A and B are shown apart, each in its own frame.
Chain A
Amino acid sequence: MADCPNSKVPSEDEVAMQQLRELILGKNQEFVKQVIQDNAREMVSEVVIEAIHDRQNHNDEFSKILTPVVQKSVETSVKQQSEQFVGYLYPLVGRLVRKSVTSFLSEFLEKTNVLIENSLTFKGIKWRFKAWQSGVSFSQYVASQTFIFKVEQVLLIHRETGILLNSVSQSVHESADGDLVSAMLTAINDFVSDSFNPQQESPEQNLEVVKTEDFSLVIKRGPKLLLVAAVTGNIPQDISTKFQITNEYIHKLYAKEIANFNGDTMVFEPASQQLQDCLVAKMHPEALKKKNKKPIMAIGLVIILLIGFGFLGFHNYQQNQLVDQIAQIGQQPGIVTRNVERTGWQDIELSVLRDPDAIEVEKWLAEQHIDASKILLLEKQYLSLEASLIKTRLKTILAKYPQIEVDWQQKIPVLTGTLPNVQRLALATKIHAIPGLTYAEELISGIKAEELATINEDSPEILMALFEINKAKIDSTQVEFEKGQGALNEKAKDQLRAFASYLKTTIELSKKLELNVGLIIMGASDSSGSIKYNQSLSQKRALIVRQFLVEEGIEAQYLNAIGLGVVENAASGSGLRKVIFNIINFKTD
């Protein structure tokens, strides 16, 4: 207690020491601090890596601090320089994608090949039958035939609790519920070791292999963990040893996790790597040989499929091309396409409206080298007013008039030439009748009418027409007589002279036409006077006209005069004082 006041009040020595310190180190050791600060960079740089390493080994805090910083900086870089990042990643991603596509394709081919071999070949069918016979699934049977042994599943089990820490298996869907298998296996082992312990002092009995008809469970025991492999076939010793070594290795690797195990199996996830190495298999030499073969079946199937699809595609393309080609018919004048569609594997239905003057569909198809037998044609007629069809119709008509020349170069065709009037009229009528033709008058105006005289060399049809016209003129001619007179007056004489010239022409025509004609000259009188008188008067009038015509140069053989007597005219009531004519064609059959 006596020292207490001394401890509060510094002794002289202490004060001196303090002063000495300040002299050497500076106030608050500032000299030393200064030196350290001046060399801070060098000092830190020398030890920074080691310091980080030690700190990281000590605990994870360094990673925790660094992770957000790195994340942030990566995020910023990606945001600001996304182009460069894309550039860096592109070749990598491309390679990855290629690799994954390649592996997918080869796996697909392999699987398809196996499927075909197992389903379609004799061996496949035989195996299926045998598998059915022995009551196992086909895949199991195939495995037993293909593999000498195969590790189907590997389980890593915590020995004490029987909890499954990790498991890997050849196929995802076939693996058993590892959790329950592990627990039951532990329980069975407990049961065995309890039940078959011959002496209390002897070491605990443990299961090493559980064998069934199809597979065996190989159990490798470590101090804390069990490694259990489900194996089909007979496992060789070296593989069994491999399991033991793997188990030992995992013990070493996860010593800390095993010691601190509290039911959290997540920490054993990475052990999958080691367990995967235990999933080994050895194939029968036969099967191995086959394995090395290329998947010919699958490649064949793929090729056949490709050819099939190619053919289908090509056929489809061809048919579509054909449909397009056929649809072109709609561009022909006078044809309207209503529908073109494929109705079967090869058939095409073509439905059109067609003007009778347009090109025939079959003909058009032949011109296009299209096989008409595959085409179902539904045709309906209609009248087209297209200019080209109007021209066609005009051409058809003009073809009968070779003496007319046509200049088709103009917008409206120009017709030139000369035609007998009758023919010209007939042509005009025909041209007017062409539907949709609006320039009929202009067309006809180009054709000149020809005089009758120049018809000599005309065709029989035209001669006949002229004959008919003249005949009509003759038949309609009437020569008037004075009342009670049998002689011709001047007017009648003039009339008969003109008449004689027609008659001559007509007779000429009839000669050319080789007709046997005759003129009947019929005299008539009115009803005044006696019947007998009137009869003789009508006879007299006919004869006088005959006489006049003979004098005018008509050959008498063509002329026959008769008296008709009284010819009553009901309309006038006065009767006829006339001579009338009729050309008769005496047909010489």
Chain B
Amino acid sequence: MFQKKICLLGPSGVGKTSLVKQFVEGIFSEKYLTTIGVKIDKKLVDLAVDQVQLMIWDLEGIDRYCGFQPKYLRGASAYAIVTDHTRSQSLVEAMEIHRMVREVSDIPAILIINKSDLDVAWHWTESELNGYSKEFIRSFSTSAKTGDQVEEMFKFIAQLTLN
């Protein structure tokens, strides 16, 4: 069994904590609680050949009030940038965070577009699609509320940490 550290980053309120709660405990709450600093959870993921215990570092939402803390990324095997597809601004912020991370680390990254249960507010343009697909290994459209694609996404990350 391997233990791997992964990080979830993204702007405030995109649903990072909810994704982890849905994955680890299988529950979703409409209540919004802002994360201070970092919240850590663990979950054992069964893969085809091996087991991985993910130590999921759910970092506080990064915005203009709260800067990015690169130390939290130390020793992580992969990270995920989370965005909210009902707020196009979140994508802009997410790409800024991604850029900041890339300055300190070159570990694999994936993009999560959360709240897929709600109405879509923006779409990739062709050029954006080409630009971002190079930046991320893969993107997922998830819903922390319904659980759609959440398990698949974390399993993918777990697999990614072993490569």
Contact = CB atoms under 8 A, between A and B. Distances in A.
Contacts of A343: none
B37 interface: yes
A161 interface: yes
Interface string B44-60: 00000000110101000
B: contact size bracket: 20 to 34
A471 interface: no
A205 to B, nearest CB: 11
A394 B79 CA distance: 115
Contacts of A164: 3
Interface in A146-169: 158-164
B38 A163 contact: no
B3 A263 contact: yes
A162 B2 contact: no
Given A179-B42, A265-B3, A266-B1, A160 B75 contact: yes
B20 to A, nearest CB: 13
B71 A193 contact: yes
B161 interface: yes
B102 interface: no
Interface string B86-103: 000000000000000000
Contacts of B42: 179-180, 183
A262 interface: yes
B21 interface: no
A159 B71 CA distance: 12
Interface string B1-40: 1111100000000000000000000000000000001101
A264 to B, nearest CB: 5
B77 A263 contact: yes
Contacts of B2: 262-265
A287 interface: no
Contacts of B4: 161, 163, 263
Nearest to A185: B40
Interface in A12-58: none
Interface centre among B2, B40, B53 (most CB of A within 10 A): B40
B89 to A, nearest CB: 27
> At the interface, is chain A mostly helix, strand, loop or mixed?
helix
A392 to B, nearest CB: 90
Given A180-B40, A187-B38, A163 B69 contact: no
B68 to A, nearest CB: 11
A162 B55 contact: yes
A40 B76 CA distance: 57
Contacts of A188: 37
B1 A265 contact: yes
A161 B40 contact: no
A183 B1 CA distance: 18
Contacts of A160: 74-75
B55 A190 contact: no
Interface centre among A161, A164, A193 (most CB of B within 10 A): A161
Contacts of A194: 69, 71
A19 B28 CA distance: 91
Contact of A161 (B5, B52, B69): B5
Contact of B55 (A159, A183, A262): A183
B156 interface: no
B55 A187 contact: no
A401 interface: no
Contacts of A190: 69, 71-72, 74
B109 to A, nearest CB: 17
A184 B57 CA distance: 9
Interface of A: 158-164, 179-180, 183-184, 187-188, 190-191, 193-194, 262-266
Given A161-B75, A179-B42, A187-B38, 18 more contacts: A159-B75, A160-B74, A161-B3, A161-B76, A162-B40, A163-B4, A163-B5, A180-B40, A180-B41, A183-B57, A190-B74, A191-B37, A193-B71, A194-B69, A263-B2, A263-B3, A263-B161, A265-B3
6 contacts: A161-B5, A161-B74, A162-B5, A180-B40, A187-B37, A191-B38
A-B pairs with lowest CB-CB distance, top 4? A161-B75, A160-B75, A263-B2, A190-B71
